[in-house]
Amino acid sequence: MACEIKGRFAPSPTGRMHAGNIFAALMSWLIVKSQGGSIVLRIEDLDVERSKPCYVDQVQRDFELLGLTWDEGPYFQQGRNEAYAAAFERLADVAEVYPCFCTRADLHAASAPHRGEKLVYAGTCRGLSREEVAQRMAQRAPSWRVTVPEQEYAFVDLVQGAFAQNLARECGDFVVRRSDGLFAYQLAVVVDDAEQGVNCIVRGMDLLVSTPQQMFLQDVLGLGRAQYAHVPLIVGERDRRLSKRDRDAGIEELLARFKTPEAVIGHIAALAGIIERDEPCSCADLLREFRIPVFPDNVQIPWQ
Ligand code: GLU
């Protein structure tokens, strides 16, 4: 039997939707539904401080209004500490996990990334002795990093094509548990996707560089791999990625400007080249003739 395709919406409830995350969710819905798959809604409320209860509801209403339907969920990350802790323990059994006492300033001083590249952790705390660890533990709570191999993680992205990253050279040992005790996004997302059966991950281009880290975690934890599509980001002036602060691209402003949810979807779809003419259409309309478009620039789409 062919494996069922399962995708997901994974919003962080830190604000209302905007053109950028509407586009990523639309692409997820279209790519998954056009393969006969289903969608899981997972509210990524791992970061208790940044997640706001009012947006947990609001983001679901926004999806509904736009016709971005889901088949399963909502699932949440809060309350799943046991599952993340179990994965963290398993990781510590099968890989090297060690405490890191570096501050943000230490991390920046130790590496000089080029613009847009990620910081490569220099491994500063990897070789600490037991005594040094005990001494530093008494002063501050550490974050926990996993040692990565000198190995290339390669995959073929449905939108970006072939992508590869040598984890040791281009990423370095990364954080799986933060110093405030929260499990890191990279770990939680891998555990959740596996448990919820998600095997088709469509999301913004900004997470492309995280995918090799997630593949490594999937491998060492014995979890299956997924298919990926990293879609271009919609960017504002000076190529700045749209955020919840860009008022003109927020869903309230979009509804005021375009009047109906269909007109909002039509505008975003036309901007991305999914349809030729900027006219109102529903997600279901787009699905009928959907093929992944060839984006002129796979990295970004200027907001208009
Ligand atoms: N929660 C993340 C966001 O809203 C998405 C994480 C993911 O797709 O892996 O940007």
Structural domains in the chain, sorted by start: 6-78+232-302 (3.40.50.620), 94-185 (3.90.800.10)
- Please tell me what DSSP assigns to residue 223: P
Beta 174-177 vs 143-146: how paired, if at all? antiparallel
Backbone angles phi, psi at 161, to 5 degrees: 80, -155
Pocket test for ligand 1, best of 189, 200, 211, 234 (most atoms within 8 A of CB): 189
Distance (Å, rounded) from C-alpha 93 to C-alpha 222? Answer: 12
Note the pLDDT of residue 118. Answer: 76
Q: How many CB atoms lie within 10 A of CB 179?
A: 16
Note the pLDDT of residue 236. Answer: 85
Q: Residue 150 Cα, ligand 1 centroid: separation in angstroms?
A: 27
Q: Is the pLDDT of residue 84 over 80?
A: yes
Q: Residue 54 Cα, ligand 1 centroid: separation in angstroms?
A: 18
Note the pLDDT of residue 170. Answer: 95
- The mean pLDDT of the chain is 93
Categorize the per-residue pLDDT at 248 as very low, low, confident or very high, splitting at 50, 70 and 90: confident
Distance (Å, rounded) from C-alpha 98 to C-alpha 8? Answer: 32
* Nearest Cα to Cα of residue 212 among 157, 145, 256, 166: 166
Read off the pLDDT of each residue in 2-9 and give the average, rounded to a whole number. 90
Read off the pLDDT of each residue in 49-69 and give the average, rounded to a whole number. 96
Distance (Å, rounded) from C-alpha 229 to C-alpha 27? Answer: 9
Q: How many CB atoms lie within 10 A of CB 131?
A: 8
Q: What is the pTM of this model?
A: 0.94
Categorize the per-residue pLDDT at 2 as very low, low, confident or very high, splitting at 50, 70 and 90: low
Note the pLDDT of residue 114. Answer: 54
Cα torsion angle, 7, 12, 15, 21, sign:
negative
Nearest protein CA to atom 5 of ligand 1, as residue:
10
Note the pLDDT of residue 237. Answer: 76
Ligand 1: residues with CB < 6 A are 10-12, 44, 189, 203, 207
Q: Is the pLDDT of residue 106 over 90?
A: no
Q: Is the pLDDT of residue 1 over 70?
A: no
Read off the pLDDT of each residue in 275-282 and give the average, rounded to a whole number. 97
Identify the weakest region by mean pLDDT among 105-109, 160-164, 199-203: 105-109
- What 3 state SS string does 177-193 have? ECCCCCECHHHHHHHHH
Q: Residue 248 Cα, ligand 1 centroid: separation in angstroms?
A: 22
8 A C-beta contact, residue 137 and residue 119 = no
Nearest protein CA to atom 6 of ligand 1, as residue:
10
Categorize the per-residue pLDDT at 3 as very low, low, confident or very high, splitting at 50, 70 and 90: confident
Categorize the per-residue pLDDT at 240 as very low, low, confident or very high, splitting at 50, 70 and 90: confident
* CA distance readout (Å), 256 to 62, 67, 245, 248, 263: 14, 18, 17, 10, 11
Residues of the chain with pLDDT > 90, as a percent, come to: 86
Of 114 and 209, the one with more pLDDT: 209
